[in-house]
Structure 1
Amino acid sequence: MSALIGAAMDPSYPGEIVAVLSNKPNAGGLATAARYGIPAKAVDQRDYQDRATHEQALIETLDAFRPDVVCLAGYMRLLTPLFVGHYAGRMINIHPSLLPLFPGLHTHERVLEAGMRIHGCTVHFVTDDMDEGPIIAQAAIAVERGDTPDALAGRLLRAEHRLYPHALRLVLDGTVRQEGSRTVHDAAPASGERPAKEAGTILVAPDAREG
């Protein structure tokens, strides 16, 4: 979330952060957003009798800000078809693996257990099935000898902070869009300018410099 806020502060970025919402009143991201003067609201799930009524309240709160794109950032509560369908084609998420490999939790441990030589992160459109939406962009890092899950996670986090703003830009400027179960890459974004890297993909070396 902080990476997206930082990117949006650049006048050349094709979007702005209009609000930050959480299902937990004590979420650190709310305080961070408030420091930047961004409206920050909690829609506490404990105040609602079931998931459906909570999600309806989330939708009403979000829609008041008229977002073009909804970005999930550390939102660990599974969303139902009600919510996903409302924002179909304009809700994205970041996941710490090179999907479709290693969906779900504990990705760093699973990468090491599998003996993978590369690891990475993926930004994808959100669909009803967890971590299975059409891929927008990915970043890869090398798995180094002696890596632990914590070391790997820390190094990958730097890549995530670069990838998410990049992927959001692709969606905002029209380079990438969702059509059904696939991602469509336009020949050129609406702005007429192609990002520095090939649309939809960047590679990040172990020291987080672009390859």
Structure 2
Amino acid sequence: MTGTPVGGRVATAANPLRCAVLISGSGSGMEAMVKAQQQHDLFHTTSVVISNRSEAGGIQLAKKLGVKVELVLPPNDAENTRTSHEDLIMQILQQYDIEFVVLSGYMRLLSPHILESWGGRIVNIHPSYLPHFPGAHAHRDVLASGARLTGCTVHMVDEGMDSGVVLAQETVPVLGSDDESSLSNRVKVEEHRLYPRVLSWIAQGFVTIKSGKVHLDVPQVPQDD
């Protein structure tokens, strides 16, 4: 059984997988992704960047790179904030004819409401070697634990906190001199290499759904930095 590509189709450089990148902060991962797409003949492209925070630094980075930006602030109605907010996001995904969603420093958990429509078509990158140190303060938690090894993880998104199927990981040593900033900066180097590579696997049809489960079948080829 071949399986169904999680991106919906096998893309090409001439017809790349159309992605939306969701951010909440500095946008360094998004910037690295877009630069990789613009500098190489990758099978994926960023059609729009969506931010849930008006002060996110990534907004100006995206504009400088020539990428469309949409700001989707959470509604004030506390009872329906998540569903209303996600409805607005899904409208933008439809408007830009998006095929795949990429979370990059997006600091909101997605609810079953959006996952009913987009589940299996969303990935995230987390700055630790999952399942160790999930959550919003991975670097702080790594340092507090005394761990000597951390890393980054690209995973499918489900309803849990950094609990989706792992697609790829890289390790990063924790140095005795590290603080949160220095550790974060070194982990980001690996994140910026890994994320475009995994998205290329997705765009080329190497990540599939078979019998309701995610499968990764990547040919053994040299990896680009």
Question: Which TM-score bucket, shorter chain as reference?
Answer: 0.7 to 0.9
2:119 aligns with 88
Are residue 165 (structure 1) and residue 196 (structure 2) matched?
yes
Of 95, 99, 121, the match for 2:130: 99
2:97 aligns with 66
- Aligned-pair identity in percent equals 35
Structure 2 CA distance for partners of 1:181 and 1:142, relative to 1, 3 Å: farther
Are residue 18 (structure 1) and residue 44 (structure 2) matched?
no
Per mean C-alpha deviation after superposition, the further-off stretch among 122-131 and 148-157 is 148-157
State the Cα deviation string for residues 38-92 of structure 1 (Å, max 9, x = none).
1111112146662211211110111211222100111111211111222111110
Q: Is the 8 A contact 1:135 1:183 kept in 2?
A: no
1:154 aligns with 185
2:74 aligns with 45
**Any stretches of 5+ residues in structure 1 without a counterpart?**
189-193, 203-209
Distance in 2 separating the partners of 1:101 and 1:86: 29
Q: Is the 8 A contact 1:73 1:94 kept in 2?
A: yes
Structure 2 CA distance for partners of 1:84 and 1:148, relative to 1, 3 Å: same
Of 31, 47, 61, the match for 1:32: 61
2:173 aligns with 142
The one-letter code sitting in structure 2 at the alignment partner of 1:29 is G
Distance in 1 separating the partners of 2:145 and 2:57: 33
* Higher RCO structure (Cα 8 Å, ≥6 apart): 2
Structure 2 CA distance for partners of 1:78 and 1:180, relative to 1, 3 Å: farther
Structure 2 matches for 1:107-118, cutoff 5 A?
107-118=138-149
State the Cα deviation string for residues 124-175 of structure 1 (Å, max 9, x = none).
0100111000011111111122222222111111111111111111111112
Distance in 1 separating the partners of 2:90 and 2:143: 38
Distance in 1 separating the partners of 2:218 and 2:169: 19
Distance in 1 separating the partners of 2:90 and 2:84: 10
Distance in 1 separating the partners of 2:54 and 2:211: 35
Q: Is the 8 A contact 1:127 1:133 kept in 2?
A: yes
Distance in 1 separating the partners of 2:50 and 2:38: 19
2:15 aligns with none
Shift in Å at residue 181 of structure 1?
7.4
**Any stretches of 5+ residues in structure 2 without a counterpart?**
1-29
1:123 aligns with 154
State the TM-score, normalized to the length of structure 1. Answer: 0.83
Q: Is the 8 A contact 1:133 1:181 kept in 2?
A: no
Distance in 2 separating the partners of 1:47 and 1:110: 32
Per mean C-alpha deviation after superposition, the further-off stretch among 122-131 and 108-117 is 108-117
Q: Is the 8 A contact 1:134 1:182 kept in 2?
A: no
Distance in 1 separating the partners of 2:211 and 2:94: 23
State the TM-score, normalized to the length of structure 2. Answer: 0.78
In terms of fraction of residues, the more strand-rich structure is: 2
Structure 2 CA distance for partners of 1:195 and 1:56, relative to 1, 3 Å: farther
The one-letter code sitting in structure 1 at the alignment partner of 2:185 is G
